[in-house]
Amino acid sequence: MTNLNTKSMFTLGIFIFLGLSSLGYFISSSVVKFKQYDRSVTVKGLSQKEYKADIVLWPIKFVLPDNDFFKLNENIEKNTKIILDFLKNNGVTDDEITVQSPSITDRLASDYSNSRNFEYRYLGKRTINIYSKNVDKIRETISKLNELTKEGIVFKIDDYDTRIEYIFTKLNEVKPLMIEESTKKAREVALKFAKDSSSKLGKIKKARQGQFSITNRDKNTPYIKTVRVVSTVEYYLSD
């Protein structure tokens, strides 16, 4: 009985050993095949275009000092009329112009004034905002603004809120073409890689579209925008 049990256990052990060996072979073979099937290459494709801005925001800010409060108000309105006439004479329409209320500072009453030694007590400011889709017309008008200095108007141009802004709003119109181009360039790179590695390019495994960026072409031409997108594509490879 003991010998029989020993033989049975020995035989069972052999079968278990053979079974585990076969299982290991099949698992190993499957891993190799899976890795071969999963060979891939990840590439990037760039699309970069230049477009003209289609909207311009132009804040015109002027300042006036005076010691007479009522006279200061009169001069603010006078300067406002001169500027508006100038704009309309250069083709800027009423619906492109927004005139803000004037702002007058009493330096004598200011809590932040450490000194009373100033020439003028009151300082008046007003901003006239231009919002236009005719960028070329506004740029031409901006170049003539110095003509108003002959009228004694002093413009404030070094503030953050007086910067001219050029905006490109047609991104949705150019997106499809740029995505197509970036994807095409990514495929060209992948095909070259496959050729150099003696492989064949398969289907797309994964694709990711990058964020679109819009920047000024340079500091001297802020009305020309550089639009850029990078697409990342992963392709399967085969022998």
Model pTM score = 0.76
Q: pLDDT (tens digit, 9 = 90+) per residue, 34-83?
A: 345 568 999 999 999 999 999 999 999 999 999 999 999 999 999 999 99
Distance CA 145, CA 155 (A): 10
pLDDT score of 139: 96
Q: pLDDT (tens digit, 9 = 90+) per residue, 116-155?
A: 667 889 999 999 999 999 999 999 999 999 889 888 898 8
Distances (CA, A) of 92 to 86, 87, 125, 129: 9, 5, 22, 11
Q: pLDDT (tens digit, 9 = 90+) per residue, 5-42?
A: 555 555 555 555 555 555 444 433 333 343 455 689 99
Q: Where does the pLDDT of residue 216 fall: very low under 50, low under 70, confident under 90, or very high at 90 and above? A: very high
Whole-number average pLDDT of the chain: 85
Which domains, from first to last, does the chain contain?
36-54+168-239 (3.30.110.170), 55-167 (3.30.70.2970)
